[in-house]
């Protein structure tokens, strides 16, 4: 969603049905971190995906945020500053 007044573009990029607890939310964008609910689960992944998204966003003078949704899920939102 473009917001010319705020000079930014906001894009929800992924909705999760997984509940993300507060301790996980504080470290979710760090490299090699996986949520406590996923530890020991039969899933693959090294805990790099969200760290890469954060690095790319920051490389473009933006950021990525975790926003909680009703029902316990979450939306990851990419926010990029625009040149007016």
List the pLDDT tens digit at each of the 84 positions of the chain: 556 666 888 888 777 777 788 888 888 899 988 766 555 555 667 888 889 999 999 999 999 999 888 777 888 999 998 775
pLDDT score for 44: 67
- Sequence-separated (6 or more) residues with CB below 8 Å from residue 48: 31, 32
How many angstroms separate the first and last alpha carbons of the chain?
15
Could you tell me which of 84, 57, 77, 64 has the C-alpha nearest to residue 11? 77
Look up the pTM and report it: 0.72
- Which whole-number Å values give the CA distances from 50 to 8, 42, 45, 55, 65, in the listed order? 21, 19, 11, 9, 10
pLDDT score for 3: 61
Phi (first) and psi of residue 12, to 5 degrees:
-70, 125
């Amino acid at each position: 969603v473009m917001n010319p007044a705020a000079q930014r573009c906001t894009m929800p990029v992924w909705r999760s049905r997984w509940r993300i607890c507060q301790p996980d939310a504080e470290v979710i964008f760090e490299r090699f971190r996986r949520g406590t609910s996923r530890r020991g689960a039969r899933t693959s992944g090294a805990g790099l995906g969200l760290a890469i998204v954060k690095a790319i966003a920051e490389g473009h003078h933006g950021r990525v945020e975790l926003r909680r949704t009703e029902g316990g899920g979450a939306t990851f939102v990419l926010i990029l500053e625009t040149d007016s």
